[in-house]
Amino acid sequence: MIQPNDQMHAQPAPGSHEEPVGGGSVPTGVRGDLKKDAPLAKLVWFKSGGAADWLFEPADLEDLTTFLSGLEPGTPVMALGLGSNLIIRDGGVPGVVVRLGKPFSSVEVKREHVVECGGGAPGILVASKARDAGIAGMEFLRGIPGTVGGFVRMNGGAYGREVADILVDCDVVMPDGNCVTIPVSDLDYSYRHSRLTEGAIVVAARFKGEPGDPEAIGAEMDRIAEERENSQPLRTKTGGSTFKNPEGRKAWQLVDEAGCRGLSMGGAQVSEKHTNFLINKDEATSSDIEGLGEEVRRRVAEKTGVALEWEIKRVGRP
């Protein structure tokens, strides 16, 4: 079992409107919704895992920046979108989990085929707004089960395109509360990776497409939706694609070759419909799910010599 990453612990600091978190403190004088020991399982696709020390849903950008600037330096901060592509470990998440809700989910069409999106906007909404405005090139976002903040951070992609192809720039709130605008050229995008600082939160992004016919765009989005429905276990408790595709190979094929289709551990199972998906079949713990993923990696390495890399992010205490 992979151990969690080294976790930072804040130092204690007294102050008004503050309560301890992971050895430090958190400002409680906010306008948004702040909860202590907040269960996260219902907020993630796998429906498993522990609680956040603190869960914060800011009322707006100012509320977020003020809150973060008041945190004890070193307090862990993590953004949470729709909860896909994520394993919350059973021991919960230290520090603060920030969930961008409705105030961050706007999508507006600008000039020159640019779409400006809040970090909490789901991919399907961005693609639909672009379609209605006759903007092509964003259809693939229909196939990414997440929010703008998540797929900007990880250079999300599907069906031959990725965020790096359409991103102009993004607004990012750093862990200290400072808000900066970062052009796509400064993100050093590679396959499912960017250079964004850990704990930085993408609060807005601008994508640029090209002129297109709304009917043709809609037809392509329908094709993507149908293909996903037919090939992926969308109606189960899953987290999306589990492993990155190695260069020149398909992760699902390697998993299949290693004889892992249908393999189970506790309540977790490798999907029989698409072997690069793990599913919570029977009240699986996050330990079941992550442990199964590690067993798949071991078997694939033993069978094929390929070391699969996790695409799903795993966070928190074991």
Annotation marks residue 105 as catalytic? no
Annotation marks residue 190 as catalytic? no
Give me the residue label for tokens 């977020």: 64
Q: Which residue(s) pair with 68 in the sheet?
A: none
What angle separates helix 123-132 from helix 214-231, to the nearest 10 degrees? Answer: 150
Rounded Cα distance, 30 and 272, in Å: 46
Rounded Cα distance, 134 and 100, in Å: 28
Cα dihedral across residues 89, 153, 293, 237: positive or negative: positive
Rounded Cα distance, 311 and 293, in Å: 11
Residue pair 177/66 in contact by the 8 Å Cβ criterion: yes
Q: Which residues of 287-300 are buried (b: 16+ CB within 10 A; e: fewer)?
A: bbbbbbbebbbebb
Q: Which of 89, 192, 297, 314 is catalytic?
A: 192
Residues 6+ apart with CB under 8 A from 53: 21, 22, 36, 37, 92, 93, 94, 95, 96
Rounded Cα distance, 216 and 93, in Å: 43
Rounded Cα distance, 142 and 151, in Å: 12
Q: Which residue(s) pair with 167 in the sheet?
A: 207
Q: Which of 241, 271, 286, 287 is catalytic?
A: 241
Rounded Cα distance, 35 and 313, in Å: 23
Rounded Cα distance, 283 and 212, in Å: 45
Q: What is the distance, to the nearest Å, from the Cα of residue 315 to the centroid of all Cα atoms in its chain? A: 11
Tokens for 188?
A: 């050093």
Tokens for 49?
A: 């895992």
Annotation marks residue 16 as catalytic? no
The residues that are catalytic are 192, 241, 311
